[in-house]
Amino acid sequence: MVKNWLFGKKRKEDADALATLKGQQNRLQAEARNLERQSDEQKILASKMLKAGNKAGARQALKRRAVFMKRLNTVHNTAMNLQAQIDSIQTATSTAETVKAMELGTKVVGEKIKTVSPERTERVMDSVMEQRDQIE
């Protein structure tokens, strides 16, 4: 898979992978919002129960809130891992494009160097010197 990124193959797969990862990341963000809402609801419920004198109910609400917060932490960690994968794919794609451009540049330079032989350079320099002599 890394080989394909380095040598620029299968760009459609890269785009599909990015789309899948970003889609999953969006789903995780929605889940995180839902968990935050549920956690806040449990905190409010615990507060109301405590004011009403129901300590056991308040304790249960706080335990449920702790469960929601633990799940929220897991969701956030998963979202960070997905972002790291997205960044890795984008970096690998950029590196592959850079290497490809450098290979093309090297090829062009090599072709240009082949057209310039020492004999040809000497002939051109002699011609330039002759033209200078004629002007003077």
E strand or H helix at 10: none
The full set of domains in the chain, from first to last, is: 12-98 (1.10.287)
The letter for the amino acid at 118 is P
Tens place of pLDDT per residue across the chain (136 aa): 455 545 555 568 888 999 999 999 999 999 999 999 999 999 999 999 999 999 999 999 999 999 999 999 999 999 999 999 999 999 999 999 999 999 999 999 888 888 887 888 888 888 989 898 888 7
Q: Are 115 and 71 in contact (CB under 8 A)?
A: no
* pTM greater than 0.85: no
Residue 57 CB contacts under 8 Å (≥ 6 apart), including other chains: 46, 49
